[in-house]
Structure 1
Amino acid sequence: MTATESFDQLNPEEAQKRWAELAQEVRRHRELYYNEQPAIPDADFDALFQELVALESAHPQLVVPDSPTQEVGSAPAADSAFADIEHLERLMSLDNVFNADELQDWLDRTPAEAYLAELKIDGASIDLVYRDGKLATAATRGDGRVGEDITANARVIESIPHELQGSEEYPVPALVEIRGEIYMRPEDFEALNEERASEGKQAFANPRNSAAGGLRMKNPDDVKKRRLRLVAHGLGAREGFTPTSQHDAYAAIAAWGLPVSPYTERVTTSKEVQDKVKYWADHRHDAEFEMDGVVIKVDDLGSQRSLGATSRAPRWAIAYKYPPEEVTTKLRNIEVGVGRTGRVTPYAVMDPVFVSGSTVSMATLHNQSEVKRKGVLIGDTVIIRKAGEIIPEVLGPVEEKRDGTETEWVFPENCPSCGTKLAPQKEGDADWRCPNTRTCPAQLSARLEYLAGRGAFDIEALGEKGAIDLIERGVLEDESDLFDLTEELLKKSEVYTTKAGNVNASGKKLLSNLETARHTDLWRVLVALSIRHVGPTAARAIASRYGSLDAARSADVEDIAETDGVGLVIAESFKDWFEIDWHRTIVDKWAAAGVTMAIDASDKPEQTLEGLTIVVTGTLENFSRDSAKEAIISRGGKASGSVSKKTDFVVAGENAGSKETKARDLGVTILNENGFETLLATGSGPAESEAGAEDAATEE
């Protein structure tokens, strides 16, 4: 039964009572969202709002002018430190859809020759007014009619020009009102929270909150420190400028010197619209800003005027919102896990909840200091966040839902796996560790899983269950015994044997995997050693520079630190690892078992890409993402994940998306897969005439 069907069963008195409750809740949380600090995630607010919409749909008499469903944003707070400012043209909100069928219904109701698909930035709205090309005022959204005057703060945001730059095609108009979104890049947000933590201040929940709070800071110098950025996405009032399409308006805005989204695309069919929505669902963290959906707009401005608007939203635009990345659920308990380096990490055990495309019941709490700082209690309703494939984390409690039954969590004194007393590795460490690094079952099984991963030995038959079984049955004392495994030893295992006691198919596969792993790349062996801070990038650099494990471990710290991509912290960690006897035993036993300890010069590819930076994006036919990266690095090149002016080549496969677009904007040479293979072999891209053919092939 749908929400509307259930509301149909309410009598008028019951419906009015429920409407009053919902309206009050929506208004309160809208006020918190726009003028203070949100108390619930966006997904919970969306659910409240949609419930109110459904109730009003079932009982139309409840739709009154001051209903939250008819309003935009929230009026500036009465005690705001900023003066009110009236917008020249009213700012509107957007209606939402949440699945492909709802989007298709909108497309069917709103046919057009062309649409724009643009990312829905999760930021704070801003309204900029330029008179004769000069920034006159800047304001928050407010209730769509009146916002807060934040002109002084806007002037210190670098991406907001104080004066517009005209061009022959797009001269500066006498008046133009620019709508946009203020945001923080994820990396700037993380840096801000690290700074706040060092000062003992509470971390911001998400980049949107910190951007919105930054706009309302009283001191513009403090605003500047937030590193806020602007993306312009619309027009309000204008004089002396009459664009015919939204696409043309964006071209003008960009020509005037205001940043527009590089991810916006013009499409002509409903299938293309649906395809863009599907693409960004899988790539929502490729953008440089947080985004929670795709906005679809009719491109032609004449058609926009004909379609008009409701009391709060245009009929010519719709926002497709992705599954939430922040939701609330009940925290049932806090337990701890022990990782491969001995780090003890508390994690939340919660009522299962659907977030960002999957159901989760556990989330990280990082360390005991974070649990205390966040003020989380067992029994709390908590906000959790899951961004893409990242492990979900608890952001904090919803304090207003506490009923007094919640209890404080106590960090354990001893390792839950081996019973050893826990302690920080060195004074001042936030993380506590189990010092029984060699034989703690939890650490050993985690190290075995790690070295069996695709980034190390790629031993497919060795998973968590198998690792624990080999440890518990005494087959392995530690990882030094791994390459000494035989069929006879595996017969002691339960996971790798049949009921009759013979080695099963998984056991035979494990032995076969180990034989292959003996002959892997040197850098993968370095990763498999679980040296703290030495991941694939540093391991590749060390292996490439020294050529053998003996040469690397014989080098002094200062020399290792000079290796590109390594530095002092990694160098010290690398050297310290070899100071421990049982660590050296691992290397000795693996070497005796025939594991790669040096690069075979005859296998090393010619260094055709030395000094070149290459970005691979999209799907290639003959290369996985890892193998393409390995092909670049092994030939002396740098495999980057982002496109910049320093990028030499971008290799674009199918569904290349925004990175290809950015490469075109910057004039970076774009290659298809054939061009990539030529580059690997020769160290240079196609000739100029061929480069055009490469680009054309990519576009097709």
Structure 2
Amino acid sequence: MMDKSEASRRIPQLRETITRHDELYYRQGSLEIEDQQYDALKRELAELEAAYPELAEGPSPTERVGDDRTEGFAKVKHRERMMSLDNTYSEAELREFDARLLRIFPEGKLSYVVEPKIDGVAVCLTYENGKLVRAVTRGNGVEGDDVTANVREGVPNLPDRLAGDAPSLIEIRGELYMTHAEFQRINSEREEKQLPLFANPRNLTAGTIKQLAGVGGRRLEIVLYGLGACEPRTFARQSEFHDAVKAWKLPTLEKYWMAENIDEAWKRIEKLDTLRHDFTYETDGAVIKLDDFALQAEAGATAKSPRWAIAYKFAAEQAETLLEKIDVQIGRTGAVTPVAHLQPVQLAGTTVSRATLHNEDEIARKDIRPGDTVVVQKAGEIIPQVLRVVTDKRPADSQPFDFAAFLKQKNIEAERVPGQAFWRLKGRDDPALIRRKLKHFASKPCLDIENLGEAVVDQLVSRGLARTPADLYTLKVEDLLELDKFAQKSSENLVSAIDASRDKEVWRLVHALGIPNVGAQSAKDLIAHFHSLPALMRATGEELIEVDGIGEIVARSIHSFFKDEEQLELVNRLIEHGLRIEEEAPAAPAEDAPLSGKTVVLTGTLPSLSRSEATALIEKAGGKSSSSVSKKTDYVLAGDSAGSKLDKARKLGVTIIDESSFREMIGE
């Protein structure tokens, strides 16, 4: 275990890294690391925060459910929380899960249900009097996005009514997914149109269900297996509920097993591992649950996970194939990342033809060369990685790969970032970087400019019509008529789409600028705090850190970005072109507002309010939300798993309130 000084530096790094990956996975449907790497980061953070609780400022990302809520959807509260499962990768930890339950139930005979763990998007369906009335994503566990219309359109095999008798009200939980066949059909069509391919079925499912204009002709499937609220509650066991789901003619698990003890459960998991690739959905593990609902209720839950269930993740799959060549891809900040092009090979149920090589050091450490036979590994259905080289099969004339010489050969002017393992383009005028920035600016999570795709951006850059995002707003119909496949109508449509993007939300513009380390959620948090782009540009490092979720690394990135003359010129040009740069600030509260002049600190997880909702209520009632407890703090609003802030409040004699008292105080 590292000492306190090291931990004080490592904990904020881990929190920021985990929060970033949560943003990518839950809100953007994307992944940069494998599940096992992500879980290792969370485990390291949990151990450090347990060893040094005084360093654990605010709710920990280890104690919260990932949040998939996005703009544009109505928010609906779950009648019962939707939690996420703790993960394990070892048989020993699975048996420790059983041992913990036996300590709670020393006299009990614990029977389990073993189910396939579906790698999809969690959803909760509500049926009232047998009729489907609502479909909601997990969200933050307390509330989610209402995706009823998209589920009705995109999941044709989901009955609108339950067959036979059913409770008057029932929440049925499961996973949305996309079959291998549908995923391959969509990617084949995109390949024919020379469009970028989707990475995996899970990410495409997440993006499809969150499309504001319907699911766009993509077919989704659903598998249902979990029970939420139920009135009247007529089920005693999970296995009984599975039988009911089948009787209602709902899509459900192809296979599940009963186990009278943990030994039997382990045998069922091993059996599942031999069958899972025959299922129509991605299965990356097994879920082990207590069968008895009464015992589940007695076992209870932590802030984010039930104590009566656990997910066992299967080991990453591996395959041997030929590395045909090494190429690079350019990121939005100019980062140059090596990628392996592989002889196509079947892995984890899909055909793999590319793998990440991470950086120059990784290539050198593993001595990876074009023409090598390599072992590739895939976990979590993301772009796989090259695990190692099979040197016995290396060609006799093979030479070590020289990354710098390769870049020079491809006329890519880049330099290695001092103290880092990656390379970045030298000149901001590099066509590859210009194209990447324009594509990012116009992408759906940013300004969402319709019809401004990759092929169009490539033509704009190659013909000298656009060098920066600001140039897009100078384009005229006659300029676009020069492009391939552009006629009068298509040119007018693109000019109109660019013009319409001027009035998009300010956070989208902040995200579109490509500030290093600032994703969509960070952009939303920043604008919610500062209310305008000019105010954000003027903010000091100390003011930036005051924003919830913004750490020192992100604050430095923002501060440096707006001190750069070229970036300032771009922003000023965008402002001159009339892009929206201000959001309306909340109206000032009346002097007699319930919390006028009061400072409130939030800690822990509240029963029904998210952090942002609670903060909004505090501000609406005239109060100020702060991130740290001091003698000037008037109230600490505490929920489950409150940490060191609660202890400090007690020591300082600060008034501690729960959500119920808070609501009463503000008249809610």
TM-score (norm 2): 0.49
Bigger RCO (CA 8 Å, 6+ sep): 2
- Higher Rg: 1
